[in-house]
């Protein structure tokens, strides 16, 4: 356990959730109309928001980059 008592997170959790959300959005877009289309667009918008948030929060200091 870490010093603050929290369990260490697995590096596979976030990609698994992103993949599951993508699968839900894809299936809902292919299955039906109306509510299913709304679900697929909400999932798509959420994934775009997640990408934009990661882009803005990335490390821009240049540390850790190879030259």
Q: Are 15 and 9 in contact (CB under 8 A)?
A: no
48-52 mean pLDDT: 94
Quote the pTM value.
0.69
pLDDT at 7: 78
Question: Would you say residue 61 has pLDDT above 80?
Answer: no
Task: Write down the residue that tokens 């030259």 correspond to.
Answer: 67
Q: Are 24 and 39 in contact (CB under 8 A)?
A: yes
Q: Are 37 and 26 in contact (CB under 8 A)?
A: no
15-27 mean pLDDT: 95
DSSP string for 20-46? HHHHHHHHHHHH-STHHHHHHHHHHHH
12-34 mean pLDDT: 94
The encoded tokens of residue 58 equal 């990335």
Q: pLDDT tens for residues 28-46?
A: 999 989 999 999 999 999 9
In the chain, where are the structural domains located? 13-57
């Amino acid at each position: 356990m870490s010093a603050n008592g929290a369990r260490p997170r697995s590096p596979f959790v976030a990609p698994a959730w992103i993949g599951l959300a993508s699968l839900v959005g894809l299936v809902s877009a292919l299955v039906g109309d109306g509510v299913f289309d709304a679900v697929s667009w909400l999932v798509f918008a959420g994934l775009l928001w997640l990408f934009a948030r990661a882009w803005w929060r990335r490390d821009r200091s240049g540390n850790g980059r190879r030259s």
